[in-house]
Amino acid sequence: MTDYLFDGLTAPQREAVAHIDGPLLVLAGPGSGKTRVVTHRIANMLRNGVYSSQIVALTFTNKAAEEMRSRVERLNPDSTVWVSTFHRFCARLLRAYSNLVGLEPNYTIYDTSDSIQILKRSLQKEEISTSHATPEKIAKAISWAKNNMILPERYEANSANAISSIVRDVYPEYQRQLRAANAVDFDDMLMLVAQMLQENPELRAALDERFRYILVDEYQDTNLVQYLLVRSLSQQYPNLGVTGDPDQSIYGWRGANLNNILGFEKDFEHVKVVRLEQNFRSTPNILTVADHLIEHNKRRKKKSLFTERPAGQPVRLLTYTNSHEESHAIATRIATQVAQGKRRPRDFAIFYRVNALSRSYEEALRQQGIPYMIVSGVEFYQRKEIKDVLAYAMLINNPRDDVAFTRVVNTPTRGIGKSTILKLQVHALDHGISMMDAAREAGMIDSLNKRAAVAVAKFVALFDRISLKINEPVEDILGAVLTETGYRAQYENSDDEEDVSRLENIDELLSSAREFDYQHPEDGTLERYLEDKALVNETDQFDTELDRVTMMTLHAAKGLEFPWVFMVAIEEGLLPHERSKDSDAQLEEERRLMFVGITRAQEELELSTANQRDFRGRRMMTVPSKFLFELPREEMDFQAALGRYTPPTQDWEDVHEIPEDDFDQTCESGDFSEDVPSVPDSLPSKMLMTAADMVKGPGSARPKLNPDKFHQSMAVLHPTYGLGKIVSMSGEGAKRTATVQFVTGEQKKFVLAFSELRPASTS
DNA sequence: CGTGTGCAAGTTTTT
DNA sequence: CTTGCACACG
């Protein structure tokens, strides 16, 4: 007998699909068919009598939610299973129970930049000096607190940390201003719902009953608030099914807590654990490389990945003399493959650690005439013209929204300048009213001169006129904004290329509004539309259908797969990133990042480094990443692209012994550790110097002895002999020498002050 | 009040 | 090399 829900599945997959009641932990390695298991499991639950209205599946991204929803619907056409992102799920609950946390149902969702505006205002109001902290850093610290469920009144400053005392002072005011504007930031959405559930046991119990079956995707990326949320909804009905992979946790810096998944079995009784270890994506070569690398992490659950796929090409590690050569070689390689008809542009992806690296690959691809797309963080909805138009809509929906008010009151310019806005703001704060209400009283504000008061009054009249349309289709509302305010007119008669593109973007916004109206004939309220816009991200629209080479950061690559992957610039300071090296927890996260990158590749994987890299307008010598020394040499093909670098042929593991460390400490400290006033950041240049530089000092201007940079059994790199390891050292100061055993078999002695020896990795 | 120029700083960023 | 922001000027 065949059963479409179970056929073609492996034994562990079936086990997970068959599980209905009780907590379930699915440890799903990369490419192990996780989404398939989850969707089939939902189908099996429905088949066994669970009502679809009792199931909610939570994801992090819209893309993941969309993918899961469509696959669930394909299996169960009539299902009404709620598949949603955490934030959207909370947005709805917040809408329904807004009064419990001091909000109106038409509350506004502020994005990061809006939140920072409110924060700046709060800092001003509290007269806090920010000389040693940027608003962004303070915002990060507040976000950290919220993700850890620390309410303003319970926040405690850490004396060793300057930022934390600022946070202690400003966080309550920031929160007051958000509430005054009837607004929330992204973190509030989760925190307020968690708080609501904590403070209202009967509501918690009711929702626990309503959402009897909860599924969470990418559980390794959950933070404390999300953990509390799903836990509190799984008390009477502990049917919580989570999937995730500790080895793919790469959002620790955003508050994700690896303990959630590592401790799941302790949090619930009778947890069913299923390990999906068979990989259906990559060749054994690729998998072995990934496996060897991740073995170096201590904080993980051991998995043994395997595949039945046939062996493919060995994974290659290429070392180029400089970054230009690297990008050029990659572009040429792609061009050749495409020209020979072996591959199409969309088969290739280039992954890098930081966005700033994309340019050189972009240029090289353009030179070769290869179509490419960059999946980047610059979002459509962050563009000025889009934010302006949406701010009008937000203000119509929620007139208390002071950020929107400030944004549009003089856009396009109508004679309401900085000082007028400031006076309105002061008046609003003094009287505990919104800026819009202050504007309505403009005539009575003494500090405003007649001309300003008239201009403000005219704006209020304009606003009221447009507001009448609040219940019309969204496209009409936006259309009215564009014409009545003169916003469109200001760009219309311009030859400026930028203005033309702005108009195009505005048209795109209008057509998205039209689409929304069409999709929501019943519930197409402005409120709903704005919620939609607040919670989407441009990369959600990332189109895999286009026949283009994909370029993105390693973070963006998670969840994707490509036949041929290039991972570039695998160098100390970039991967692992310079700022991730103070703790082992961070270092392990960097390693996971590399693991994620490697496991995206289906057939071909090419890792590369360049001895010299042009970055931020500077040319620097580089050091290959320590991670490269953790890969299985015998399985790989090491090619020094132009003969400068030879592969390691001996065991390097002892070279990079990682000291035992207290992970919990570093793991939980969040963003605070890096905010401690630190020594001047001289590491990058030091790290990138040759031995001669180090002993003499940069530019030889100020002789500086630094023999300590080298030590016994350290991995070093020499331009002619390649990679080696220091077997012994002798002498002092400028005469200090090192005996190096090279992987070529040669042994050489160097006077450090004159040698071109440099560290091959920092340990 | 709007625009231009100088200067400092620059990981990653699901919502 | 970019990019964002603060400040000065017209």
Question: pLDDT tens, A304-362?
Answer: 899 999 989 999 999 999 999 999 999 999 999 999 999 999 999 999 999 999 999 99
Instruction: Measure the CA–CA gap between A243 and A276, rounded to whole angstroms.
Output: 10
On the question of pLDDT at A671 being above 70, the answer is no
- Asked if A617 CB < 7 A from strand C, the reply is yes
Residue type, position A205, single letter: A
A147-156, A673-682, A701-710: segment of lowest average pLDDT: A673-682
The predicted model gives A189-194 an average pLDDT of: 96
Taking only the tens place, the pLDDT of each residue in A9-23 is 999 999 999 999 999
Nearest-CA residue to the C1' of B9? Answer: A616
Q: Which residue has the tokens 């991730």?
A: A580
On the question of pLDDT at A124 being above 90, the answer is no
Taking only the tens place, the pLDDT of each residue in A587-611 is 999 999 999 999 999 999 999 999 9
On the question of pLDDT at A402 being above 60, the answer is yes
Q: What is the pLDDT of residue A647?
A: 39
Strand ranges inside A135-245, DSSP E: 183-185, 213-216, 239-244
A332 is known as an active-site residue: no
Residue A130: pLDDT band (50, 70, 90) is low
A80 is known as an active-site residue: no
Instruction: Measure the CA–CA gap between A737 and A332, rounded to whole angstroms.
Output: 42
The predicted model gives A130-152 an average pLDDT of: 86
Instruction: Measure the CA–CA gap between A699 and A706, rounded to whole angstroms.
Output: 14
How far does the CA of A131 sit from the C1' of B9, in Å? 15
Q: What is the pLDDT of residue A651?
A: 35
Nucleotide nearest to A455 (CA to C1'): B1
Greater confidence (A642 vs A572) lies with A572
How far does the CA of A494 sit from the C1' of B1, in Å? 21
Residue A504: pLDDT band (50, 70, 90) is confident
How far does the CA of A540 sit from the C1' of C6, in Å? 35
Instruction: Measure the CA–CA gap between A590 and A167, rounded to whole angstroms.
Output: 28
Q: Kindly report the bases of strand C lying within 7 A of a protein C-beta atom.
A: 1-2
A14, A15, A34, A368: the active-site residue: A34
Most confident listed range (A128-142, A459-473, A676-690, A724-738): A459-473
- Asked if A418 CB < 7 A from strand C, the reply is no
- Please tell me whether residue A434 adopts helix, strand or coil conformation: coil
Q: Which residue has the tokens 């919220």?
A: A146
Greater confidence (A162 vs A99) lies with A99
Q: What is the pLDDT of residue A640?
A: 66
A539 is known as an active-site residue: no
Q: What is the pLDDT of residue A609?
A: 93
Instruction: Measure the CA–CA gap between A716 and A690, rounded to whole angstroms.
Output: 10
Tell me the CA distances in angstroms from A616 to A112, A322, A325, A359, A525, one per residue in order.
Answer: 26, 15, 17, 11, 46
What's chain A's average pLDDT? 83
A108, A243, A248, A283: the active-site residue: A248
How far does the CA of A7 sit from the C1' of B4, in Å? 68
Residue A52: pLDDT band (50, 70, 90) is very high
How far does the CA of A418 sit from the C1' of B5, in Å? 20
The predicted model gives A459-487 an average pLDDT of: 93
Taking only the tens place, the pLDDT of each residue in A536-571 is 765 545 566 788 999 999 999 999 999 999 999 999
How far does the CA of A402 sit from the C1' of C7, in Å? 26
Q: What is the pLDDT of residue A538?
A: 57
Instruction: Measure the CA–CA gap between A377 and A552, rounded to whole angstroms.
Output: 9
- Closest C-alpha to A221, from A198, A237, A242: A242
Greater confidence (A624 vs A644) lies with A624
Nearest-CA residue to the C1' of B1? Answer: A417
Residue A111: pLDDT band (50, 70, 90) is confident
On the question of pLDDT at A432 being above 70, the answer is yes
Instruction: Measure the CA–CA gap between A420 and A88, rounded to whole angstroms.
Output: 37
How far does the CA of A418 sit from the C1' of C9, in Å? 17
How far does the CA of A615 sit from the C1' of C2, in Å? 11
A120 is known as an active-site residue: no
The predicted model gives A139-146 an average pLDDT of: 90
A254 is known as an active-site residue: no
Q: What is the pLDDT of residue A653?
A: 33
A218 is known as an active-site residue: yes
On the question of pLDDT at A710 being above 80, the answer is no
Flag residues 522-561 of A with CB < 7 Å from strand C.
Answer: none
Sheet architecture: strand order including A82-85: A82-85, A55-59, A213-216, A239-244, A24-28, A272-276
Structure pTM? Answer: 0.80
Nucleotide nearest to A579 (CA to C1'): B11
Greater confidence (A558 vs A758) lies with A558
A185, A218, A385, A675: the active-site residue: A218
A95-104, A310-319, A325-334, A742-751: segment of lowest average pLDDT: A742-751
Nucleotide nearest to A555 (CA to C1'): B12
Nucleotide nearest to A618 (CA to C1'): C1
How far does the CA of A115 sit from the C1' of B6, in Å? 28
Nucleotide nearest to A378 (CA to C1'): B13
Contact A109, A535 (CB under 8 A): yes
Tell me the CA distances in angstroms from A306 to A451, A564, A599, A695, one per residue in order.
Answer: 75, 20, 12, 48
Nearest-CA residue to the C1' of C2? Answer: A616
A217, A584, A603, A693: the active-site residue: A217
Instruction: Measure the CA–CA gap between A641 and A62, rounded to whole angstroms.
Output: 41
Contact A585, A667 (CB under 8 A): yes
Nearest-CA residue to the C1' of B15? Answer: A535
How far does the CA of A417 sit from the C1' of B2, in Å? 10
On the question of pLDDT at A500 being above 70, the answer is yes
Kindly state the percentage of chain A with pLDDT values over 70: 83
Taking only the tens place, the pLDDT of each residue in A630-640 is 999 888 888 76
Residue A689: pLDDT band (50, 70, 90) is very low
Nucleotide nearest to A64 (CA to C1'): B14
- Asked if A450 CB < 7 A from strand C, the reply is no
Nearest-CA residue to the C1' of B11? Answer: A354
- Asked if A616 CB < 7 A from strand C, the reply is yes
Q: What is the pLDDT of residue A712?
A: 72
Q: What is the pLDDT of residue A602?
A: 96
Q: Kindly report the bases of strand B lying within 7 A of a protein C-beta atom.
A: 1-2, 10-15
Contact A575, A625 (CB under 8 A): yes
How far does the CA of A388 sit from the C1' of C5, in Å? 20
Contacts (Cβ under 8 Å, ≥6 apart) of A220? A244, A245, A246, A248, A249, A256, A258, A260, A261
Nucleotide nearest to A617 (CA to C1'): C1
- What is the widest separation between alpha-carbon atoms in chain A? 88
Taking only the tens place, the pLDDT of each residue in A53-64 is 999 999 998 888
On the question of pLDDT at A413 being above 90, the answer is no
Greater confidence (A512 vs A28) lies with A28
A400, A600, A696, A758: the active-site residue: A600
